[in-house]
Structure 1
Amino acid sequence: MEDDPASRNVSSARLPDGPVILFDAECVLCSANAHFILKHDKGARFHLASMQGEVGSMLFREHGVDPADPSTIIVVDGVNVRKNSDAVLCIYEALGFPWRFASLFRLIPGRLRDPIYAWIARNRYWIFGKRPTCWIPPEEFRSRVL
């Protein structure tokens, strides 16, 4: 991703302020995590966009990930983009106490964390299941899902 905001495409220009989490709304684990984040993000800092939606699929492609077969969760925050275990850790750190204790996993180098993350991502449907339809957030959180 280029650092010049003027070079960002139309999808990025329409993004709300603050971080946007890109996720798979058909994955049981991913959608449960999305609901958990929305529920525990007391400052309403995060927005979410699913790979199945227009904004989410554009952002996945913009950051080099196939939205039909994503291999990672992505957090887009302005020009900063986080993927894999780094994305998960930045989310939980931002949720505050007690979730910020997840930052202790940063003591483990990414080159060791990311293969575990990648294995779970590749096998997420087999391990956790796949929803027959996309997850729809509860009414109180819908304004935060793009």
Structure 2
Amino acid sequence: MEKEKKIILFDGVCNLCNNSVQFIIKRDKKDIFRFAPLQSEIGEKLVAERRIDTTRIDSIILIEPEVAYYTKSEAALRISKSLSGLWPVMSVFLGLPSGLRDCIYDWVAKNRYQWFGKREECMIPSPELKDKFLAFSTKSDK
């Protein structure tokens, strides 16, 4: 694993999460991020190493290797800081109390399958994008 790359763990069967990954890839002009579904072997390994309870956090985790990891709204806003365009402006919301930010984040996360739908299996990246993903298979592929 490339230690200088930040890792985004996402819900691989969530349409909103998959669309968010595509959104990030298009705006990751400095090639900062690598991705893995939470349901993948590497996703589960990274979560276990950090003792993250995925029954409480199951939508997005940002890992800065050898630095820290971030969840929920903090992960999303820290990701926005590294994107091209005006998206870094979103990081001003880091100044709001995390309880308020996470309340809104949790509401969207709780309803994401109902609003945006759910896939039967994790997205398989195109050949052009496969280097951005740390894992291609889920447990159900075994």
TM over 0.5: yes
Match of 1:123 in 2: 111
Say which SS state the counterpart of residue 128 (structure 2) adopts: helix
Contact in 2 for aligned 1:23/1:49 (Cα 8 Å): yes
Say which SS state the counterpart of residue 102 (structure 1) adopts: helix
Q: TM-score, normalised by structure 2?
A: 0.83
Bigger RCO (CA 8 Å, 6+ sep): 2
Alpha-carbon distance, 1:137 to partner? 2.1
Partner amino acid for 1:17?
E
Percent sequence identity over aligned pairs: 38
Equivalent of residue 71 in structure 1, options 43, 58, 76: 58
Gaps of 5+ in 1: 1-13
Question: Aligned-residue CA RMSD in angstroms?
Answer: 1.9
Gaps of 5+ in 2: 135-142
Distance in 2 (alpha carbons) for counterparts of 1:101 and 1:53: 32
Number of aligned pairs?
A: 133
Distance in 1 (alpha carbons) for counterparts of 2:129 and 2:54: 23
Equivalent of residue 40 in structure 1, options 18, 24, 27: 27
Match of 2:11 in 1: 24
Distance in 2 (alpha carbons) for counterparts of 1:65 and 1:29: 22
